Structure 1
């Protein structure tokens, strides 16, 4: 059903289109050019607004919201610097295939691109966003505002997710005009081709050592049940990418490890005769990076299933490429293989040894920290990572028990992600535990957003591992008193003297109605064997 032709301001059409798409929260900061959107937000109650302290924070909040819930995150920002402050979050959302929509104002339409020195002008502002967005568009017709916003949600639902940026001149946001809203738009992800699934089933049926590599695309497709069903039918170990963690519980006997963890995965991959990669783009950072240098031999068969045809064959050429939805493909593969016992010939004991192996840098202290943290949290707790020494170890060894519960900026490896992304995750999941694990350097990148957590009474624990340095580059720095800083914002703050005291400190912090900063003085070396 469509409704339209009512006279509304451009800002009202923005809000009405978001409402029609089921948006419940937006993150942003008002400015002189986007006030028409904020006026419209104030006149309705379906969409709540979360006021960030910096547009970069708003962008990371939207990423955390989307990453933890599966629903698109929405950001509202103003012209010029307000808009460009979202570029780093969008770079991370692009790398992670996270659905984030940024709606930004722009200078008056007649001035766009003319470089006349208008207030907040960034010449051809939208061009800054094209490299980090699936779609970036300047809207120059007020009647197209609602349709373009709904079109963004069409793209989120039908293909590989990723950020979208829409720029709307201030005069179009303020002017009244017509438009059209389509309620209940029918959307679906493209199914896999029947012949390609048949061919894949034949290859998998003949495998002696089948193996599955599952990525974020399987999580986006909500394909956990289908993946586990196929893995057990084949007797196939499952390796997940960082973005794919939790697709099956990592306590499951078939889960082998996280792809870049060379010690757990390299030997298994080399031993496999048929590999099914699903929803995985073999990102260079994880496959040609600091540790794992992945390759496939000529006698191995690679089947690559992904919703995005552009990633198939980009790094590794498969014997069989399948374009389509991961859930559809996995379900039909399991149906074709039918019931029966696995014929796999894996050395299960050897796989178990590989799964638990680690180098000498993985100290008992780090292992105890991870054990205590996991034990203090519910199975569905959301753990948000920044970039610090222990996060690299958590990437491999923190047990993830459910999808969308381990948030990590693996694509861009940016500092400053953890605090605002945890806020977004808590807004999306108010009844679940949320803990951000950050270093002292990364915490100070976005500590201003602690004010947002206090304002909305968000019961998040920010666990700051303080080694008094930017550990990855070893330059010393001078830090504030973190618990005192937290209290200055109106949050709770405490220092944890040792990892042994962490469990009880977390229990007290998780019981607080608002945010808590816990400082744990500790130095953790990253796992890199360079």
Structure 2
């Protein structure tokens, strides 16, 4: 067995797990790991300016690639800085491995005031990870990293964390590396599949919700095949956008906070098939399942069933496997759909939604249509926690999986720009656009330096209303217009971009199309600032209004 330091064991174990890029920020407890990257040709280290950016970039990379992203930070404040990004990855079921330093093993639990000490650091990450572990011996590092990979590649993918004390990173021991593991998909119980098939066989108005779990399982082809067999309309959650092509005749596009084409049809459904979605509180009146509707719920995480809506049939399985076997089961009886949905009623629902968008959000719809018309189909868009980002969930059509990302129920202000950087690293040959507001962009703006240094040519659209817009609207709607603490003083974002070495352009919504064309051909990161008024968000409109 070879003898090596803990730092070297980390890098070798990552390499054997197929990791190609690590995002990190140096600090004394992890310099032994940084040193192990020196001269290593197979794993690239990208240094960032804030620990949240390291994890956000790992998240963006993971979502595009469909495999774990890795971040490396110091203990204490480093882990705390990273925690919001880790929570975002947790909410989005994104496979992110955080490798954190720790104080020396002989300081653990002693509260002596060791550098960066937190007692107990694992308590910080436990609520936002699927699995976490402290590694106390060099020889145990490869097995810990393999277990982290297993956790992220089986069941519901979520973040994992490993922490290694400072002295263990520098210590030398003999180390053996386990074989790279092949991970299998979780198959559904056949009896549950048969129950679901019987319900669908008799359904006159079958309806499908496609969530992010469809994309995570790479099950878009199976979803399309099943929808066509059932002749069932398909709506997607924001996280599921791209799971089903929105140009398809059966697509109702995205549903969000009770809105979307789906709200004009879903109440007529008799059987609802929900795949890879927890059916959160975003299912407001208009789109939420009703008591008289039978719900078939497929998800990799059995803990989600019956939390928000009761299921007639709950199937704990990988979405791809469940859909494949369900299709086979339906095919055995030479299934002929009893669906009574008509093209006319589906088209009418889409027309009503378009009219509603034009009425409720004319400027937002115009901006989003401009973006969609100017960028190629394979463009990756990061929908930020900002007004245009919210409306993208309802107005930006998506055709391909892994090309549209949100922060899910975590709604993390500031996530979009750094997540976009990670997405661009994963897909350097595709356009990647981060849709951000002025408030959110300021969170990670210093990492424009990272973008320029590493040639990460992300396009960032900064919609600037000089405010924390949705909370300002909240004050206008719910607090009688008493505005306090929500107006902002911003720099000139285009000039800031230029100071970092990026391209900065200020434009109006009317000229955005031409400027986007220019940005798409640029050979460096681009920041486009678009002044806009403060505008209402979809979740601030009652679905019962009209």
TM over 0.5: yes
1:76–1:292 distance in 2 versus 1, CA, 3 Å: farther
* Two-structure CA RMSD over aligned residues (Å): 1.6
Structure 2: how far apart are the matches of 1:261 and 1:226?
A: 27
Structure 1: how far apart are the matches of 2:74 and 2:202?
A: 57
Q: Retained in 2: the 8 A contact 1:214–1:280?
A: yes
1:9–1:282 distance in 2 versus 1, CA, 3 Å: same
1:43 corresponds in structure 2 to 39
- Residue number among 256, 274, 294 corresponding to 2:271 in the alignment: 274
**C-alpha deviation, 1:262, in angstroms:** 2.2
Q: Retained in 2: the 8 A contact 1:361–1:525?
A: no
Q: For residues 351-500 of structure 1, what are the structure 2 equivalents within 5 Å?
A: 351-356=346-351, 357=353, 358=356, 362-474=360-472, 475-496=486-507, 498-500=508-510
Q: Retained in 2: the 8 A contact 1:191–1:329?
A: yes
- Residue number among 22, 26, 35 corresponding to 1:30 in the alignment: 26
**C-alpha deviation, 1:385, in angstroms:** 2.0
- Residue number among 178, 183, 188 corresponding to 2:179 in the alignment: 183
Structure 2: how far apart are the matches of 1:355 and 1:172?
A: 60
Where 1:469 maps in the other structure, the secondary structure is coil
Q: Are residue 200 (structure 1) and residue 196 (structure 2) matched?
A: yes
CA displacement 1:212-266 (0-9 Å, x = unmatched): 1111111111001101000000001111111111011111111113232524223
Q: Are residue 52 (structure 1) and residue 48 (structure 2) matched?
A: yes
Structure 1: how far apart are the matches of 2:307 and 2:363?
A: 40
**C-alpha deviation, 1:293, in angstroms:** 7.0
Where 2:183 maps in the other structure, the secondary structure is coil
Q: Retained in 2: the 8 A contact 1:361–1:526?
A: no
**C-alpha deviation, 1:350, in angstroms:** 2.6
Structure 2: how far apart are the matches of 1:248 and 1:353?
A: 20
2:477 corresponds in structure 1 to none
**C-alpha deviation, 1:376, in angstroms:** 1.0
Q: Retained in 2: the 8 A contact 1:433–1:510?
A: yes
Structure 1: how far apart are the matches of 2:72 and 2:275?
A: 34
**C-alpha deviation, 1:500, in angstroms:** 2.2
**C-alpha deviation, 1:359, in angstroms:** 5.4
Q: Retained in 1: the 8 A contact 2:93–2:157?
A: yes
**C-alpha deviation, 1:281, in angstroms:** 1.0
Structure 1: how far apart are the matches of 2:318 and 2:90?
A: 19
Q: Are residue 303 (structure 1) and residue 303 (structure 2) matched?
A: no
Provide TM-score, normalisation by structure 2: 0.93
1:143 corresponds in structure 2 to 139
- Residue number among 501, 509, 514 corresponding to 2:519 in the alignment: 509
Structure 2: how far apart are the matches of 1:437 and 1:501?
A: 17
Structure 2: how far apart are the matches of 1:47 and 1:517?
A: 29
Q: Retained in 2: the 8 A contact 1:261–1:396?
A: no
Structure 1: how far apart are the matches of 2:156 and 2:175?
A: 28
2:205 corresponds in structure 1 to 209
Where 1:446 maps in the other structure, the secondary structure is helix
1:361–1:132 distance in 2 versus 1, CA, 3 Å: farther
Q: Are residue 313 (structure 1) and residue 306 (structure 2) matched?
A: yes
Structure 1: how far apart are the matches of 2:8 and 2:510?
A: 54
Q: Are residue 66 (structure 1) and residue 62 (structure 2) matched?
A: yes
- Residue number among 92, 95, 113 corresponding to 1:96 in the alignment: 92
**C-alpha deviation, 1:325, in angstroms:** 1.1
Q: Are residue 117 (structure 1) and residue 113 (structure 2) matched?
A: yes
**C-alpha deviation, 1:353, in angstroms:** 2.5
Where 2:414 maps in the other structure, the secondary structure is coil
1:293–1:350 distance in 2 versus 1, CA, 3 Å: closer
- Residue number among 206, 231, 234 corresponding to 1:238 in the alignment: 234
Structure 2: how far apart are the matches of 1:319 and 1:453?
A: 49
2:319 corresponds in structure 1 to 326
Where 1:143 maps in the other structure, the secondary structure is helix
Q: Retained in 2: the 8 A contact 1:31–1:77?
A: yes
Structure 2: how far apart are the matches of 1:222 and 1:56?
A: 28
**C-alpha deviation, 1:94, in angstroms:** 0.8
Where 2:97 maps in the other structure, the secondary structure is strand
Number of equivalenced pairs: 521
Structure 1: how far apart are the matches of 2:126 and 2:500?
A: 37
Q: Retained in 2: the 8 A contact 1:27–1:61?
A: yes
Structure 1: how far apart are the matches of 2:278 and 2:174?
A: 42
**C-alpha deviation, 1:295, in angstroms:** 3.8
Structure 1: how far apart are the matches of 2:144 and 2:519?
A: 43
Structure 2: give runs of 5+ residues left out of the alignment.
Answer: 473-485
Where 1:34 maps in the other structure, the secondary structure is helix
**C-alpha deviation, 1:347, in angstroms:** 4.0
1:443–1:427 distance in 2 versus 1, CA, 3 Å: same
**C-alpha deviation, 1:125, in angstroms:** 1.1
Where 2:177 maps in the other structure, the secondary structure is strand
Q: Retained in 1: the 8 A contact 2:103–2:117?
A: yes
**C-alpha deviation, 1:184, in angstroms:** 3.1
Where 2:265 maps in the other structure, the secondary structure is helix
Provide TM-score, normalisation by structure 1: 0.95
CA displacement 1:407-451 (0-9 Å, x = unmatched): 111221111111111110000001100111111111111111111
**C-alpha deviation, 1:341, in angstroms:** 4.6
Where 1:122 maps in the other structure, the secondary structure is coil
Structure 2: how far apart are the matches of 1:74 and 1:262?
A: 36
